[in-house]
Amino acid sequence: MMDTAFILRSSPHLRDRDSVPKIMYAVVISLLPAIAASFYFFRFRALGLYLVCLIGCLITETLFLRARKKPMHSLWDGSAVITALLLAMTLPPALSLELALIGAVMAIALGKQVFGGLGHNIFNPALVGRAFLQVAFPVAMTTWSAPATLAVDAVTYATPLGNLKFQNAISQGTLTPLKDLFLGNTGGCLGETSAAALLLGAAFLFFRQVIDWRIPLGIILSLGAFAGIFWLVEPQTYASPLFHFLAGGFMIGAFYMATDMVSSPITPKGAWIYASGIGIMIGIIRLFGGFPEGVMFSILFMNTFVPLINRFTRPRILGERRRT
């Protein structure tokens, strides 16, 4: 009677309108305020780093997709763009472009594609690229320049956390003011300095339900508790929790890196465990470690535990007896 072939499939037959590319581009949009801030503070250094990272990431992604005979549409799902932007934002503004290119290639190759591409990576790809550079080129990765908005003649310039750790900033009274940290008028990685711009973007991501609120909140609470105790006991040696929240890579790490969907837990309880681990690790490294900053290593370290955390934090099934 009919020559139409009717669709046969299993339910459900309705779908939410959100999609992987839409989520990825929402993250890109949320980064725009911080990207704008990096242009304002570091001028044309920013342009070079963003371009090189984008080119490096997209070309590496293309080569791998071709070699693995995967469909090319994956190139435009937005994930490689995010990796490129986040990597550039966590590089020192004065880093040479060749090194940035190496970082971008490593981020995609070692951080993502060797595991099987989007969704299969254990670590945050941008942080893998950054960690590679940090280990391979430690001097270049810790040479900082002042933002263009500060009239500083010196070629190198200490970051607020470096200042705290190596220059006894608290007793000298040279600790970076919170207002400068909040706005980003200070030294540091390209896109990490302006807490205000990062928070603006993060607010959009909350609204868009892209990031799990438990993760940044858990990191804030655990680092706050850890750093807070030492600060209350010895305020002349240790900086306040608020300083730790606003300084260094905390904001970009807590809101953008740790919340990466692929490399963070999928269970609610798991998110709390993972976040507390990151917060405490940051505290330990910043207060007692050899490096002034510990956000990157803390996140990568906790990334390794995610499969295990997921496994042991299965939610309670409806009707399952509560464990006593």
Partner 1 sequence: MKKKTFARGIHPPEQKHTTENLPLEPLLPPEKVVIPLLQHFGAPAEALVKKGDDVRLGQKIGDSPALFSACIHSSVSGKVLSVDGFAHPLGKPMTAVTVVNDGEDRPDPEIRGKEDPLALSPEEIRIAVKAAGIVGLGGAAFPTAVKLTPPKDKSIDVVIINGCECEPMLTADHRIMLEHPDDILNGAELVRKAVGAARIIVGIEDNKRDVYDLFHRHPHDSPVEVVLLKTKYPQGAEKNLIQALLKREVPRGGLPFDVGVVVQNVGTAKAVWDAVAQGKPLYERAVTVSGSGIPEPKNLMVRIGTPFHHVIDHCGGLQPESNLILMGGPMMGLTQASPEVPVIKGTSGILVWGEARPPREHSCIGCARCVSHCPMGLVPTRLMKCVKYAALPEAESSGILDCVECGCCQFSCPANIPLVHWIRLGKNQILNERRKKSASS
Residues of the shown chain interacting with partner 1 in the complex, contacts defined by CB under 8 A: 1-2, 4-16, 18-20, 22-23, 73, 77, 79, 117-120, 212, 261-268, 310, 314-321
Task: Provide the minimum distance between the beta carbon of 201 and partner 1 in the complex, in angstroms, as a whole number.
Answer: 18
Query: What's the CA gap between 158 and 142, in Å, rounded?
Result: 9
Lookup result for tokens 């937005």: 78
**Shorter beta-carbon distance to partner 1: residue 221 or 261:** 261
Task: Provide the minimum distance between the beta carbon of 270 and partner 1 in the complex, in angstroms, as a whole number.
Answer: 9
**Shorter beta-carbon distance to partner 1: residue 96 or 310:** 310
Task: Provide the minimum distance between the beta carbon of 274 and partner 1 in the complex, in angstroms, as a whole number.
Answer: 12
For residue 169, what are the contacts with CB-CB under 8 A and spacing of at least 6? 160, 163, 175, 176
Query: What's the CA gap between 38 and 75, in Å, rounded?
Result: 26
Task: Provide the minimum distance between the beta carbon of 209 and partner 1 in the complex, in angstroms, as a whole number.
Answer: 8
Give the H or E element holding residue 178.
helix 178-183
**Shorter beta-carbon distance to partner 1: residue 7 or 135:** 7
Pair 206, 200: CB distance under 8 Å = no
**Shorter beta-carbon distance to partner 1: residue 14 or 135:** 14
Task: Provide the minimum distance between the beta carbon of 4 and partner 1 in the complex, in angstroms, as a whole number.
Answer: 6
DSSP character string of 37-66: HHHHHHTHHHHHHHHHHHHHHHHHHHHHHH
Task: Provide the minimum distance between the beta carbon of 296 and partner 1 in the complex, in angstroms, as a whole number.
Answer: 20
DSSP state of 257: I
Task: Provide the minimum distance between the beta carbon of 57 and partner 1 in the complex, in angstroms, as a whole number.
Answer: 17
**Shorter beta-carbon distance to partner 1: residue 76 or 301:** 76
Burial class (CB in 10 A: 0-12, 13-18, 19+), 206: middle
For residue 230, what are the contacts with CB-CB under 8 A and spacing of at least 6? 237, 238, 287
How many helices (H) and strands (E) in the chain?
15, 0
**Shorter beta-carbon distance to partner 1: residue 212 or 293:** 212
**Shorter beta-carbon distance to partner 1: residue 8 or 139:** 8
